Structures are given as C-alpha cells and as structure tokens.
Amino acid sequence: MNIISNKDFFDDVSGFYDEMINFEAALDRKTNHLNNFITKDMKTAADIGCGSGIDSIALSSLGLNVTGFDISEKMLEKSKENSKKLNKEIHFYNYASQNIPHTFNSKFDFICSLGNTIANINPKELEATIKRFSELLNKNGKLLFHILNYEKIVRENERIINIKKGENNYIIRFYDFGRDTINFNILTFESDNPKQKNLITTNVYPHSLQTIKNLLIQDNFQSIEIYQDLKKTPFVSTTSTDIFLFCSK
C-alpha cells in the first residue's frame, strides 16, 4: 500500500472534492449552522484547513473578514475559484496550521477548523497547533474545531465512511485500522468501467477528546463546550460520530 503525505493526498482529492461533499448543499448548511457561533462583535475569522473554501465562504456570507489557510496548494486553487465565483473577497495562504507566520498573531476574533482537519496533524505537532490557535486569536476570541469521535469509530470497527454515487463514477471513503494511526482511503472508479479505478491513502491520527481538552486547558482556553454537530446538539461519547469543540481564549 502506497501511503502518501497529507498534502499530496488533498492535492489529489482537489479535483473531485466538491462533488464528494456536495458543495452547494453543504455551503447552505454550513452558513446556517455557523451562525450559531458568531456574535455581532466578531469582525475577523481564520479558517484553518480551509480545503476548497466552503467554511471560508460561509463565514464571509455571515459578514466576517476571512483568511483561509491550507497545506494543499491545489485545494487553495479551488478555494480561490469558489470564492471568486460566489463574489467573496477572501485571502488564502499556503501554510500548515502549526506553521502559520507570527505576523498573524492576535488578528482574529474567531477561528474555525472543521472537516476533521486536526486529525491530519500528528501527535508531535498537535500541541504546537493548539498553541498557534491561541496565539492567532484576539483577547476573548473564540475557537471552533472538529474531529471525528475515533474512540467510537475504532471500538465499533466502522471502516466505511461514505459511498457517493456521482453522475459517472463512485467515490468510496473507508479506513484501515493500525496500532497508532488509521489509514484513510479514497477509492474512485467509473460507473460503467470499474477497472478504471484509483486508490489513494494517507494517515490520520485518532486523537482522543481527553488529549485535546488537556491541550486546550494547557493553553488557557476556557468554557469548553462540546457538541456532536453545528446545531449544538449535546455530545454523547458512546453514540456521537463527530466532536465539535467551542471555547474562549
């Protein structure tokens, strides 16, 4: 099995990512639900791991001045195309979360990092990433980020994430479970010619909720709220697939 870097993986995915997530429907949903976390005093936002720009565009639609960051140059190209198409003025930068320059420190009232971005960060860099979240925020700034509930996923051996049937193809997302990492796979093939297939694989890291909470407390984040979705449904460790953490600096 050829395991590629997170950057190369999302460079490869960029060509069909919007189809895979159903961009237009997801944008409407994100715009509505992110409004649950925005207050009138917020002016600036950072979208860390912005992908093809869906959360950046949603935040811009909610009136914020948005800056997006991503490790994948090709995903950033999609972000720029999507924001231009929707007439949104958003600045995008090619940086991994822990490497965002210090010139951005104390620039943001709100930071979001959704789409399981933090699971792409290895344990050695996770502490530096949480620290950068704190440094990037203004005083009293808010942080919202998402990770899958890997304790549940591993316990239940949930290998299949999603099967998407497109107009001419299938996109299947699934896991292989290792000891300390999980292989995240995306298999694509043509509907009328399954032999024309492509499989790409990268590592993700199943950080526990307790590990993340400890790092947030270490960096003086307060009032940590935990939900299973952007509608603020309470998180239940045994049944919730997703974890959304919302806290204050």
Q: What is the DSSP string of 142-171?
A: EEEEEEE-HHHHHHHT--EEEEEE-SSEEE
Which residues make Cβ contacts (< 8 Å) with residue 181, sequence separation at least 6?
203, 204, 205, 206
Q: What is the pLDDT of residue 195?
A: 83
Domain-wise residue ranges, the chain: 13-148+206-248, 152-204
Q: What is the pLDDT of residue 167?
A: 79
Q: What is the pLDDT of residue 209?
A: 97
Q: What is the pLDDT of residue 180?
A: 79
More confident site: 209 or 167: 209
Across 63-72, 157-166, 169-178, the highest mean pLDDT is recorded for 63-72
Q: What is the pLDDT of residue 192?
A: 85
Q: What is the pLDDT of residue 194?
A: 81
pLDDT at residue 1 greater than cutoff 80 = no
**Position 191 confidence tier, pLDDT thresholds 50, 70, 90:** confident
Q: What is the pLDDT of residue 205?
A: 95
Q: Which CATH number fits domain 13-148+206-248: 3.30.1330.10, 3.40.50.300, 3.40.50.150, 3.40.50.1100?
A: 3.40.50.150
**Position 65 confidence tier, pLDDT thresholds 50, 70, 90:** very high
In sequence order, which ranges of the chain are alpha helices (DSSP H)? Answer: 6-13, 17-21, 23-34, 54-61, 73-85, 123-136, 150-156, 209-218
pLDDT at residue 178 greater than cutoff 90 = no
Q: What is the pLDDT of residue 181?
A: 84
The pLDDT > 70 percentage for the chain reads: 100
- Taking the C-alpha atoms of residue 77 and residue 98, their distance in angstroms, rounded to an integer, is 21
Q: What is the pLDDT of residue 57?
A: 98
Q: What are the CA-CA distances from residue 173 to residues 25, 158, 199, 240 (Å)? A: 19, 11, 10, 19
